[in-house]
Amino acid sequence: MQTLTIDARYSGPPGHAHGGYLAGTLANHSNRQLRVRLLQPTPLARALQLQPREDGSVELSEGERLLVRGEPETQALQLSVPAAPDHMQAIEASRRFIGFKHHAFPDCFVCGTARARGDGLRIFAGSLDNAPAADQVAAPWTPDASVADADGKVRPEFIAAALDCPGYFAARSDGVAMLLGEFTVHIDRLVHVDEPCIVIGWRLSVEGRKYRVGTALFDEDGEPCARALGVWIEPRGPMPGTSM
């Protein structure tokens, strides 16, 4: 059994790992596309038990507590992706980011407004005017060298992270805190560091406290590079790391 420690930089809710980053990290330990179920909030800066299995599944535990499980998908992710907005449209959408007024997790690695450039990804997805899909958000993103591999391309776990938070802002526009429950990521190709990219999110369906969303990443030419299907859940009890 291997051990895995999530660095404190990669936080979502205070003191806990960012869901998209965590899902992408687990996927790095499988040769299959995974549907990742985030069963319990995963603590930061602790040695956790990582168990890749022969069937391609991956589990992350703390002692007897199962935190995350990645289950192999039998077919490629089927998701109808809207066309990319242009860069100026994404910039305008980002100016409407609701987190500028109120943010449940301002220290979030991906969308936190309290994170400095070069520390957080600072992907601020706001509502998109004249969007082809209802409840669609968009943001520009230019990845920096801190998320790159040796070839100057963005590592898969950071692409997964970038695809996480825009889905939340597509699901709800009122800032209610929610947690990512499931995440399935498909990467067609890795984008380059310093490449001006666009990330979008759109709501697919709502069932009680569960919100199904799609997200996608486009390169500077507007070509799709990655997509994800997420399920966000509004918890009944207090959020991790908060008194809400």
Single-letter amino acid, residue 199: V
Share of the chain above pLDDT 90, in %: 86
Domains of the chain: 2-72 (3.10.129.10), 87-233 (3.10.129.10)
CA of residue 161 relative to chain centroid, distance: 4
Q: What are phi and psi of 25, to 5 degrees?
A: -65, -45
Sheet bearing 65-72, strands edge to edge: 2-4, 48-52, 58-62, 65-72, 34-38, 179-187, 224-233, 210-218, 197-207, 136-141, 126-127
Residues 193, 145 contacting (CB under 8 angstroms): yes
Q: How far apart are CA 103 and CA 72, in angstroms?
A: 34
pTM beyond cutoff 0.75: yes
Give the tens place of pLDDT for each residue, 51-83. Answer: 999 999 999 999 999 999 999 998 878 899 999
Question: Read out DSSP for 119-134?
Answer: TB-----EEPTT-SST
Give the tens place of pLDDT for each residue, 125-144. Answer: 999 987 655 589 999 999 99
